[in-house]
Amino acid sequence: QVQVVQSGTEVKKPGASVTVSCKTSGYAFTTRDISWVRQAPGQGLEWMGFISASDGNTNYAQKFQGRVAMTTDTPTSTAYMELRNLRSDDTAVYFCVVEGASGPYVYFDDWGQGTQVTVSS
Amino acid sequence: DIQMTQSPSPLSASVGDRVAITCRASQNIANYLNWYQQKPGKAPKLLIYAASSLQSGVPSRFSGSGSGTDFTLTISSLQPEDFATYYCQQSYITPRTFGGGTKLEIK
């Protein structure tokens, strides 16, 4: 059974950086990509990007290019998402998702519990 | 980027009703379409992938249809636990955009 456990609540000031961790278990870590999705208060889901756990290649949404970095640590089966130069509109719940696939069809079937990040002066 | 537009929102219905939620893509995405259910304070849950494939463990009252640009999630007989927000998502190309969500409310 796949488990995805994220780090805890963060409160940051504008301009700071935050790193959210995502520890996985229950599958071969390098066989599945990891996406990050965020959800602002009362809003919908926003895909931020993904990282290939097999080779570390990343694909970021243009909105976050230059401010986000996604990395993985294979020995600990953990993924990380760093968001820099935080603004108040980065206040959101951040989800780590272990992607699934059936042939060419990618889907998000194993989600972390979410990490609340609040940006406030 | 591919824009995903959902309707209606919100949607009011009663237990036992048959409901349909639609999702329209701004360009052809074949059948690269997923549906998720989200309840307050929880992570989304995958219901349907590849437009019509039911995820393991999801009740058979949920079904998906469509291809190209127009898609539908149908719940054949609403149960109390189905009142939630539903999102579509395209996985045709990155960015893997989501629709804005459809909140299914009790009438």
Which residues are registered as beta bridge partners of B55?
Answer: none
Q: Which one of B32, B48, B49, B93 would you mutate to disrupt binding with A, by most A Cβ within 10 Å of its Cβ?
A: B49
Of the pLDDT bands very low, low, confident and very high (cuts 50, 70, 90), residue B95 is very high
Chain A touched by B5 (CB under 8 Å): no
Q: Taking a contact as any Cβ pair under 8 Å apart, which residues of chain B between 40 and 79 contact chain A?
A: 43-46, 49-50, 53, 55
Q: Is the dihedral of CA A21, A38, B41, B5 positive or negative?
A: negative
Residue A118 confidence (pLDDT): 98
Of the pLDDT bands very low, low, confident and very high (cuts 50, 70, 90), residue B9 is confident
Long-range contacts of B46-55 (CB under 8 A, 24+ apart): B46/A100, B46/A107, B46/A108, B46/A109, B47/B73, B47/B86, B48/B73, B49/A100, B49/A102, B49/A105, B49/A107, B49/A109, B49/B91, B50/A102, B50/A105, B50/A107, B53/A102, B53/A105, B55/A107, B55/A109
By DSSP bridging, strand B102-106 and strand B11-13 are: parallel
- pLDDT, tens only, B24-82: 999 999 999 999 999 999 999 999 999 999 999 999 999 999 999 999 999 999 999 99
* Rounded percentage of chain A residues whose pLDDT exceeds 70: 100
Chain B touched by A10 (CB under 8 Å): no
Q: CA B1 to CA A110: how far, in whole Å? A: 25
pLDDT at A22 over 90: yes
The residue whose two tokens read 């299914």 is: B104
3-state secondary structure at position A67: coil
- pLDDT, tens only, A34-83: 999 999 999 999 999 999 999 999 999 999 999 999 999 999 999 999 99
Q: CA B5 to CA B99: how far, in whole Å? A: 5
In order, the DSSP letters of B84-100 are: SEEEEEE-SSSS-PBP-
Residue A45 confidence (pLDDT): 98
